[in-house]
């Protein structure tokens, strides 16, 4: 791994970025792997002022962030494999390679996922046999998208990828005025990318029909945060509680709504708190003995 600001091939055939703190690792340190959402590359986690990479390095935690298939330097998969499940299977194989190449000295892997990347991380965790997976920290994903999204997104252009207009993207990714630094809106443009159409249709169509099955098969601790003003998901306290209840096989679940923030929580003032919570959760997962915190 090299600087967080350099683009490189990290594992398998995927590009991305990574950082490993200098000076060695403390005992029981996790290897954190962060999976970006739709319409963003791995640079999502390295926007100045909002950088998970900088916070991970400051806390002595190695971090990898792949570009998902079809993003940046990562090749696309066949169309039938570009849905959430197909990408999860591909990333799971890449994670095995990442563990062999970058896992030395760490206790295991903790996945961080945002939005579609969170759904993919859930799918990976639900079928994580053979991976040294310690925990899962996700945000920007829910049980249901607004009902009008299905018909609306079905009318997307008949192209392999879809680019979201800047004005629309700003509206759906950011929350109320005052909840973020306006300069971050344009800074985040550095991570913008066209999204594979297949994954967009799957998150508004197929995901809600299988989410309960996926969540029910996860067997590692889960940290879950959802934005109160998330225009891409149906959000209220009942939905957050329902998501937590669906994680019936997880030994420990920490689920909360984050007030007054939008979909990309990382880019808001409260993003610092989110990222430190996620990194603290990763450290806890690496430090505690297996089975700790099992539900009664």
pLDDT category, 152, cuts 50, 70, 90? confident
Give this prediction's pTM. 0.95
Closest CA to 11 of 29, 26, 31: 31
User: What confidence score (pLDDT) does residue 292 get?
Assistant: 54
User: What confidence score (pLDDT) does residue 172 get?
Assistant: 95
d(CA 252, CA 245): 11
pLDDT category, 167, cuts 50, 70, 90? very high
- Over residues 36-54, the mean pLDDT reads 97
User: What confidence score (pLDDT) does residue 128 get?
Assistant: 83
Contacts of 4 (CB under 8 A, 6+ apart): 17, 18, 19, 46, 51, 53, 54, 57, 63
- CA pseudo-torsion sign 38, 44, 50, 53: positive
d(CA 170, CA 117): 19
Average pLDDT, the chain: 92
- Over residues 205-233, the mean pLDDT reads 97
Closest CA to 230 of 177, 164, 174: 174
Model pLDDT for residues 117-145, shown as the tens digit of each residue:
999 999 999 998 889 999 999 999 999 99
d(CA 207, CA 205): 6
Contacts of 268 (CB under 8 A, 6+ apart): 174, 175, 179, 180, 261, 262
Across 5-9, 115-119, 162-166, least confident range: 5-9
- Over residues 273-294, the mean pLDDT reads 86
Contacts of 5 (CB under 8 A, 6+ apart): 17, 46, 53
Closest CA to 142 of 237, 8, 283, 33: 237
- Over residues 164-186, the mean pLDDT reads 95
Report all structural domains of the chain as residue ranges with CATH numbers, in order of start. Answer: 8-286 (3.40.50.1820)
């Amino acid at each position: 791994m090299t600087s967080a600001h350099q683009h490189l091939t990290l594992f398998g055939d995927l590009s991305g970025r990574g950082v490993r703190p200098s000076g060695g690792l403390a005992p029981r340190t996790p290897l954190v792997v962060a999976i970006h959402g739709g319409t963003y590359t791995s640079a999502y986690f390295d926007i100045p002022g909002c950088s998970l990479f900088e916070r991970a390095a400051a806390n002595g935690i190695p971090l990898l962030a792949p570009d998902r298939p079809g993003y940046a330097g990562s090749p696309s998969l066949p169309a039938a494999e570009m849905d959430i499940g197909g990408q999860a299977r591909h990333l799971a194989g890449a994670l095995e390679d990442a563990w062999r190449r970058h896992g030395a000295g760490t206790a295991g892997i903790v996945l961080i996922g945002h939005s579609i990347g969170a759904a993919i991380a859930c799918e990976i965790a639900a079928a994580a046999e053979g991976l040294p997976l310690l925990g899962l920290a996700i945000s920007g994903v829910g049980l249901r998208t607004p009902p009008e999204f299905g018909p609306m997104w079905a009318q997307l252009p008949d192209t392999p990828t879809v680019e979201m207009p800047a004005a629309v993207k700003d509206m759906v990714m950011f929350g109320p005025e005052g909840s973020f630094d306006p300069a971050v809106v344009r800074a985040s443009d550095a991570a913008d990318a066209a999204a594979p159409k297949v994954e967009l249709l799957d998150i508004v169509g197929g995901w809600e029909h299988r989410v309960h099955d996926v969540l029910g098969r996860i067997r590692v601790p889960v940290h879950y945060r959802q934005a109160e003003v998330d225009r891409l998901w149906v959000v209220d306290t009942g939905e957050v509680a329902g998501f937590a209840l669906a994680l019936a096989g997880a030994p420990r679940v920490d689920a909360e709504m984050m007030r007054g923030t939008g979909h990309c929580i990382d880019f808001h003032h409260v993003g610092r708190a989110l990222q430190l919570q996620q990194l603290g959760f990763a450290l806890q997962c690496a430090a505690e003995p297996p089975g700790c915190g099992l539900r009664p």
